[in-house]
Structure 1
Amino acid sequence: MVRRTRKSAVPTKPLLRPPVRIGNLDTAAVIGELRQLHEDAEDENLGRMPADEELFRTLLYLEANAGALKSQEAQRKAAVARVRLWEYLREQADLHQAKAIEHARAAGAEWADLAAALAVNTSSAAYNKAKRMQAAVLTEASRGAQPVRRTPEAVREAERLEAARAAAERRAEEEAALRHALLAPVAKRLLEHRAGLDDDEDVTFWLDQVAAVLPSCRTPTQLVSLQTYMKALVRELKRAERTTGRAVAKTDDARLAYAAAAELVT
C-alpha cells in the first residue's frame, strides 16, 4: 500500500482557524474570587497573599497554598482559574517580549546580543524565535481576524501587508488634509453669510453641524465629518431650490459662498 505524503503547509499561508485565546481578562477580578475562596477556607497565610495587581507573585502564592482549600469543589475551581491566569500570562509574555525585542533592535542591539536573552545559541536562532514571537503581536493587532502562522516567512509577509495598510491609511489622511485645506475656507464663508441663505429646517441643521465641527477639525474622523456635512448642506440647498422654485441665496455674498461650496463638493 502506497502512503500518500502529507503536504507541508505553505509558510506564509495563514492558519485555517483563528487560534483560541484568552484575550482581555480582568485579572484583578479573578484573583479577587480566588482570594475569597481562601478567605472562606480560613487560610492562615492569607495575609501574605500579594495584591490583586501582582499577577505572577499571586499565582505563586496560590500554587504554594492550594492545600489550604478544604473542599474539592473549591480546589477544582481555584485550579481551573489558575490555569486560565497562567495562559493569559503566557499570551501577555509573547506580546511584551516581542515589544522588548523591537525596542532593543531600535536601540542598536544585534541579534547576537539577544541570543542569550532569548535562550538560543546563534544569531539566526534569535532572529527566527523573535519572528515567531512577532506572529502573536500581529495576530493581536488583527484581533484574530487573520491569524498569522508562527513562521519567519509568514511574519515577514504579515509585516509587509501591515506596512502597506498603514501607508494607504497615511495617504488617505494626507488626501483628506488636502481636501480640508480647500474646504475649510469655503465652509467658513458659508457660515459667515448663513443669514443670507434659505432658513429651511434641514439647511439650518447642516449649517449647525458644519459650525460645530469646523473650529476643531483636526483628526481624520473630523475631516471626513466636515466633508460629509458640507455635501449634505449643498444637497439640502439644492433640494430647497427645486422645491420652492427660487434661489436659496438672498445676498450676493451668500450666492458666491454657495456656488463655491457646490463646485467643491460636486
Structure 2
Amino acid sequence: MHENAEDPDVERMPADDELFGALVYAEKHVQALRAQPLEVQQAATLKRVQLWEYLREQTEIHQARAVDDARAAGVQWIELAPAMAVSAPSAAYNKAKRMKAVKLTDETPRAHHVRRTPEAVLEAERRLMLEQAAERRAQEAAQRRHELLVPVATRLLEEREALLRDDDVDYWLEEIQAVLPHCRTPLQMVSLKRYLDAMLRALTKLEKHRARPVALTEEARLALTAALELQREARDRREVDSSANADATLPITP
C-alpha cells in the first residue's frame, strides 16, 4: 500500500520479518496514504490493528515460555513479580496463567481462546493433559497391536487351507498376503489391519450362512481365535479412549 501510494520513504520500511519496526514505520508514515481512496486507508489501518494484535499475542506466548523457563531454573514468583511489572507473587502467578490463555482453546465448536482467568487456564491445561495422556495410551496400545498384527495375520495365512472359504474370504486373504511382506510403516500396518478386519467379517458372515465352523482344524481355530481376540481388544481400546476423552470435558471437582 505504501509503495502504491508512492511513499517517498518506503525504502526505509523494515523487512517483512521485522514486524515491530514495520508497524512503527506505518504508524509514523500514515500521512503517506492520505491521498489514497478511503477504502485503502481503512484497509491499511485495519491491517495495522490486526498485526498489532498478532504481535501482542506472540509476545505473551514468548513471555509465558520465558516464565516457564525461569520457574524451571528455580526462580521464585517473588523474584518474577517486578520483572512482570506486578507487585506481588500471587499477581505474577495469575498473570502467567492469563498469558497462557493465548495458546489454549476451549471446547466450543469454534475452539475459542479460553477466558483470561487463572481458573480457566488451569481447566484448559488439565483437559489438555488428559487428552495428551489418552493420546499416548492410544499410541502405545496401537504399537502393541501392530507388533501382534503381523504374526496373527501370518498364522492365519498359514492355516488358509484349513479354513472354510468363499470368494470374499479368498479376496481378503490375497490382499493380506500382498501387503504382509512389506509391513513396516504405520500406513502399511493400517492397511493390513483393514484387510484383516474385512476377512474376519467375511469369515463370520460365511460361518452364519453355512451354519458350521469355518475353522476345520484345531490349529486353524486357534489362529482364528487369536485374530478375533486382537480385533476385540482394538474395539475395546477405542471405547476406553472415547470414555477418557469424555471424562476430559468434566469440570474439576473441589
Same fold (TM over 0.5): yes
Shift of 1:127: 0.8
Q: Distance in 1 between matches of 2:69 and 2:172?
A: 50
- Identity, in percent, stands at 51
Q: Distance in 2 between matches of 1:203 and 1:49?
A: 69
Aligned to 1:152: 118
Aligned to 1:117: 83
Q: Does 1:129 align with 2:82?
A: no
Aligned to 1:208: 175
Q: How many residues align?
A: 228
Structure 1 window deviating more from structure 2 (155-164 vs 83-92): it is 155-164
Q: Does 1:44 align with 2:12?
A: no
| Gapped regions of structure 1 (runs ≥ 5) | 1-36
Which amino acid is 1:49 matched to? M
TM-score, normalization by structure 2: 0.69
Q: Distance in 2 between matches of 1:75 and 1:263?
A: 67
What RMSD over aligned residues (CA atoms) do the two structures have, in Å? 3.8
Structure 1 window deviating more from structure 2 (81-90 vs 157-166): it is 157-166
TM-score, normalization by structure 1: 0.67
Aligned to 2:143: 177
Q: Distance in 2 between matches of 1:93 and 1:143?
A: 27
Cα 1:190–1:96 shift into 2, 3 Å: farther
Cα 1:124–1:245 shift into 2, 3 Å: closer
Structure 1 window deviating more from structure 2 (38-47 vs 142-151): it is 142-151
Shift of 1:98: 1.9
Aligned to 1:57: 21
Higher relative contact order (CA 8 A, sep 6+): 1
Deviations 1:105-135 (A, max 9, x none): 2233322332233112322221111011122
CA contact (8 A) 2:98 2:117 kept: yes
Q: Does 1:162 align with 2:128?
A: yes
Which amino acid is 2:167 matched to? D
